[in-house]
Amino acid sequence: MVNLPADKLQARLTVDKSFVISAIDKRIYGSFIEHLGRAVYGGIYEPGHPEADERGFRNDVKKLIREIGVPIIRYPGGNFVSGYNWEDGVGPVEERPRRLELAWRTVEPNEVGTNEFMKWAAEAGSEPMMAVNLGTRGVDAARNLLEYCNHPGGTKWSDLRRKHGYEQPHRIKTWCLGNEMDGPWQIGQKTAAEYGRLAYETGKAMRLIDPQIELVSCGSSSSAMPTFPEWEAVTLDHTYEVADYVSLHQYYGNRDHDSANFLARSMDLDHFIKTVVSTCDYVKAKKRSKKTMNLSFDEWNVWYHSNEADIRIEPWTVGPPQLEDIYNFEDALLVGSMLITFLKHADRVKIACLAQLVNVIAPIMTEPGGAAWRQTIFYPYLHASRYGRGVSLQPIIDSPKYDAQDYTDVPYLDSAIVFNEENDELTLFAVNRHLSEGLPLTCDIRGFEGYGLLEHIVLHHEDLKAFNRAGEERVAPRRTEGTVCRDGYVETVLQNASWNVIRLGRVQ
């Protein structure tokens, strides 16, 4: 990493109402609950816990999810869904089978299934994003599940739902056509052509039942897959006209302990999105289609801390502690930059799901019988969801840059701008990637006459490896002084290695 002298550091940003990228789909602040580890059993659901409701779901966890304002939650997987028989998770709980769950080598008791999740999601303030099994199953199981969930009544599967105590249909809008079907780890892995044909026929049948649903076609499991982006080109050749979105999945880690390189990983994310957009548009041109394919980034996060611990997990137990990354401060910075990247691509990224929501690579952690608490990554996710609603604006940025191990010309300033006309507010999200120096920043907001500073929230810790635990929140946001707004300009200094939320609005 090449650092500029402190006296050479200066960033400038210009924003105007006319620099519109797109309206932001609130679902880019979605998340994910899979039947994996302690996400369900011991996470959202823990009968006997002091905070459990009459159905066994933890109220303290629901409260934290509502605090974030999670608009959509993907369910029930993930790798889990490729071996899941949805019929096992409906009807009287005492009659449900216990199954060997092959994706994560656990036992699935099926105490929580479709109906329980739907009721819980509504209480958590979220809508569902349901995935169907295209690994061990296919068209028939998917159409039956959709009929069970969305058809009003008078048929076999819809009447079964009513018999189970749910008179009204769930009206699930968004459906994933399988999960990571390119992966050799996936039960029922498919070639691109095999998946494309199956997904098309499944989607066709589902749309005959409910023409109002949205469908997500499986993209590559990551940009590192050897078949990327050919997988997208081949599968979308089949699914382009039946699907509304193509999925993207990506996780990052800092295994080589190179923080400067780690904080530049969002540049790889940007390249990934641009490549998938290009591939989608190639298929659009090839088909002479008038339809634009949008993106569902329905798995993303930092994931690497728990890898060694997961190797030692005893198989064939219920809800073992799998994928329980304890996130540090630098992880929160990268999560912030990833959210900024989604906002920069709000014209095509319409859904994004932080994977996952509770305990499993998650912003929320729980202790069995004990507390629920916020990890470091909770805060940029919270801020983006709370203040990132409205229209994404394209900032014109002039920032000093550095070179890292895998990236060149990395801007120290990473920023996205959101204009909420309804609330008459402008929000600047910014990460200073410089590890040791503050970054002076001047923002030209003359296009927002009459706006002044509401608050400047900063997440910062001198120790990049600092983390939170139950009862000890070392990394937490605070309001900072010293930021000024006058004559159409905002002047501030972004602390070294910091996540910043600068909120502006009309002042008297």
Q: What is the DSSP string of 384-409?
A: HHHH--SEEE--EEE--EE--SS-SS
Asked whether the beta carbons of 391 and 467 are under 8 A apart, the reply is no
Angle at which helices 59-68 and 378-387 pack, to 10 degrees? 50
d(CA 324, CA 82): 22
Residues 462 and 380 in one domain: no
Output the pTM of the full model.
Answer: 0.96
Q: What's the whole-number mean pLDDT along residues 189-214? A: 98
The CATH number that applies at residue 413 is 2.60.40.1180
With 90 as the cut, is the pLDDT of residue 43 above it? yes
| Of residues 36, 60, 74, the one with CA closest to residue 354 | 74
Contacts of 30 (CB under 8 A, 6+ apart): 70, 71, 72, 73, 74, 126, 129, 298, 351, 352, 353, 354
d(CA 253, CA 410): 18
| Of residues 28, 119, 114, 34, the one with CA closest to residue 71 | 28
DSSP single-letter state for residue 462: S
The CATH number that applies at residue 283 is 3.20.20.80
With 70 as the cut, is the pLDDT of residue 5 above it? no
Phi, psi (5° rounding) for residue 344? Answer: -65, -25
Domain termination residue (choose one: 387, 420, 437):
387
What is the layout of strands, in order, in the sheet containing 391-393? Answer: 20-23, 391-393, 413-420, 425-432, 498-506, 451-460, 478-479
Residues 13 and 93 in one domain: no
Residue 331 in any domain: the answer is no
Give per-residue pLDDT as tens, 420-429. 999 999 999 9
Q: What's the whole-number mean pLDDT along residues 424-452? A: 97
Residue 340 in any domain: the answer is no
**Rg, the chain, Cα only:** 23
Domain termination residue (choose one: 371, 387, 403):
387
Residues 352 and 425 in one domain: no
Q: Which secondary structure element, helix H or strand E, spans residue 158, and what is its range?
A: helix 156-163
With 70 as the cut, is the pLDDT of residue 266 above it? yes
Going from the C-alpha of 355 to that of each of 83, 252, 297, the distances in angstroms are 20, 12, 10
What pLDDT is recorded for position 42? 97
8 — pLDDT class (breaks 50, 70, 90) = confident
Asked whether the beta carbons of 53 and 431 are under 8 A apart, the reply is no
Q: Any idea which residues carry the catalytic annotation?
A: 180, 299
Tell me what the pLDDT averaged over the chain comes to.
96
Residues 367 and 444 in one domain: no
Residue 295 in any domain: the answer is yes
What pLDDT is recorded for position 7? 56
Residue 288 in any domain: the answer is yes
Number of structural domains the chain divides into:
2
Contacts of 312 (CB under 8 A, 6+ apart): none
d(CA 157, CA 147): 6
Give per-residue pLDDT as tens, 108-167. 999 999 999 999 999 999 999 999 999 999 999 999 999 999 999 999 999 999 999 999
Residues 289 and 424 in one domain: no
Domain span including residue 170: 25-300+345-387
Cβ-based burial of 369 (10 A; exposed 0-12, middle 13-18, buried ≥19):
exposed
Residue 336 in any domain: the answer is no
Residues 53 and 142 in one domain: yes
d(CA 358, CA 301): 13
Residues 487 and 404 in one domain: yes
Asked whether the beta carbons of 256 and 303 are under 8 A apart, the reply is no
Residues 280 and 423 in one domain: no
Q: What's the whole-number mean pLDDT along residues 311-319? A: 92
Residues 104 and 123 in one domain: yes
Give per-residue pLDDT as tens, 325-336. 999 999 999 999
| Of residues 27, 22, 136, 145, the one with CA closest to residue 86 | 145
Give per-residue pLDDT as tens, 234-249. 999 999 999 999 999 9
Domain termination residue (choose one: 362, 387, 412):
387
Positive or negative torsion for Cα 53, 58, 59, 65: negative
Residue 370 in any domain: the answer is yes
| Of residues 273, 291, 190, the one with CA closest to residue 235 | 190
Residues 136 and 202 in one domain: yes
Residues 353 and 374 in one domain: yes
Give per-residue pLDDT as tens, 278-308. 999 999 999 999 999 999 999 999 999 998 8
What pLDDT is recorded for position 1? 44
Question: Regarding beta strands 410-411 and 401-402, do their DSSP bridges make them parallel or antiparallel, or are they unpaired?
Answer: antiparallel
Asked whether the beta carbons of 206 and 184 are under 8 A apart, the reply is no
d(CA 324, CA 366): 10
DSSP single-letter state for residue 3: P
What pLDDT is recorded for position 311? 81
507 — pLDDT class (breaks 50, 70, 90) = confident
339: alpha, beta or left, given left = phi > 0 and alpha = psi -120 to 50?
A: alpha
Residue 316 in any domain: the answer is no
d(CA 210, CA 172): 10
Cα angle 172, 246, 279 (rounded to 5 degrees) comes to 160
Residues 132 and 257 in one domain: yes
Tokens representing 459 are 């997440």
The identity of residue 416, as a single letter, is: A
2 — pLDDT class (breaks 50, 70, 90) = very low
Q: What's the whole-number mean pLDDT along residues 69-93? A: 98
Residue 140 in any domain: the answer is yes
HSE value, Cβ hemisphere, 13 Å, CA-based, for 154: 2
What pLDDT is recorded for position 310? 82
What pLDDT is recorded for position 414? 98
For residue 251, list its beta bridge partners.
301
With 80 as the cut, is the pLDDT of residue 271 above it? yes
Q: What's the whole-number mean pLDDT along residues 413-442? A: 97
